[in-house]
Amino acid sequence: MKDFRGLPNYGSEFKKNCQGKVLRYSRRTCQLAFNELVQGKKEQELIAKFGERIIQCFNERELNKYGR
């Protein structure tokens, strides 16, 4: 965002430090986890399969409606 204010240094820092990183929880992974949540899997099963941070893909309403 700071690049648009005329500070190009932040964009080059992002490219140097972050662009090569692989996202573990992509939109596709979150969608697969959500499909399993809707099909009746519980939170603990999703955590065991996808990892601890997969719960961050869902909001509280989705968790209350489908997961708990």
pLDDT in tens, 40-60: 999 999 999 999 889 999 999
Give the per-residue pLDDT at 20: 75
Nearest to 30 by CA among 49, 2, 64, 56: 56
State if pTM tops 0.85.
Answer: no
Could you give the 3-state DSSP secondary structure of residue 23?
coil
